[in-house]
Amino acid sequence: MARVKKESPTRLAIIQVAIDLFFEKGFSNTTAAIVCRKAGIGTGNLTFYFPTKEHILDVLVTMMCNHQWKMIEAYTDEGKSSLLSYCLELATMAAISEEIPQMHDFYVSAYSHPMTLENIRANDVEKMQQVFGSFCPDWTEEQFVEAEAIVSGIEYATMMTTKHSAPLPVRIEGALNAIMLLFGVPEELRKIKIQKVLATDYRAIAKRVFIDFKKYVSDANEKAIEDLLQTYHIKKD
């Protein structure tokens, strides 16, 4: 009897296996060997799609940037690309990082690896132009790129806590004030947005974002993944 050829797993299947592992063990504790064993594939099959586990993380970062922003906008009442949405997103990221150890590892890893950091910066530059463009109308794109390098550092510092770090609300307020000041947001408006964010249940929103993101990846199909990666100019190999 002829042997039935086993179909190779798709990139999507590998992504879904990997995200389960990242959220169970943490990105740092998940090796390529563990992904292969869980997916039932050889190393060659994995590296055909993803040369390193950072390449998988890069895809997940793209998905997270897209999904997280849409969710946050739904929680605010100021329309698309609003200043409040921007502020609430940072608060949510900081809260997820504090509440869920695996997500702390996910975010910190994403901000630590050059490939994924570049992905985050490219996504955030476009967002910042939409959110802060009216506050600095004379800025060039290069100035926004330069500012994003500073902002990503602030975001990383807000999530990368130690035993000497300030409480979460203090870190959120400090980060938001510094970022908005960088873009010339007036002091009174800064205070209003920060107070509104701190008055929300951002910890509950953070948990919902985490749960919905896992479902979003689990429910995604191959075409949706490919379309998303093409939209964000992520290479397939």
Q: Is residue 28 part of a domain?
A: no
- Distances 135 to 4, 27, 153, 186 between C-alpha atoms, Å: 63, 37, 21, 9
* Dist CA 64 CA 237 (whole Å): 19
The single residue listed with the structure tokens 């190999």 is 237
Q: What pLDDT, on a 0 to 100 scale, did the predictor assign at position 214?
A: 84
Look up the domain containing 190 and give its range: 57-214
Q: Is residue 89 part of a domain?
A: yes
- Is the Cβ–Cβ distance between 130 and 69 less than 8 Å? no
pTM for this predicted structure: 0.85
Looking at the structure of the chain, the number of domains it has is 1
Residue 75: pLDDT band (50, 70, 90) is confident
State what percent of residues in the chain have pLDDT above 90: 63
Q: Which of 1-15, 53-67, 123-137 has the lowest mean pLDDT?
A: 1-15
pLDDT tens profile 180-222: 999 999 999 999 999 999 999 999 999 999 899 888 877 776 6
Going by the DSSP 8-state scheme, the letter that residue 29 receives in this structure is: T
* Dist CA 87 CA 105 (whole Å): 22
205 phi and psi, to 5 degrees?
-60, -40
Class of residue 159 by CB neighbours under 10 A (exposed 0-12, middle 13-18, buried 19+):
buried
Looking at residues 107-129, what average pLDDT do you find? 94
pLDDT tens profile 8-35: 457 788 888 988 899 899 999 999 999 9
Q: Is residue 202 part of a domain?
A: yes
* Dist CA 136 CA 151 (whole Å): 16
Q: Is residue 192 part of a domain?
A: yes
Q: What pLDDT, on a 0 to 100 scale, did the predictor assign at position 76?
A: 82
- Is the Cβ–Cβ distance between 111 and 152 less than 8 Å? yes
Q: Is residue 232 part of a domain?
A: no
Helices (H) and strands (E) in the chain, counts: 12, 0
Q: What pLDDT, on a 0 to 100 scale, did the predictor assign at position 234?
A: 47
Q: Is residue 3 part of a domain?
A: no
The H or E element that residue 196 is part of is helix 187-199
Q: Is residue 9 part of a domain?
A: no
Q: What pLDDT, on a 0 to 100 scale, did the predictor assign at position 115?
A: 94
Helical segments of the chain, H only? 11-25, 32-39, 43-49, 53-75, 83-99, 101-112, 114-132, 141-159, 168-182, 187-199, 202-219, 222-231
Residue 229: pLDDT band (50, 70, 90) is low
Dig out the tokens for 196 from the structure: 């509104």
* Dist CA 87 CA 173 (whole Å): 10
Q: Is residue 40 part of a domain?
A: no
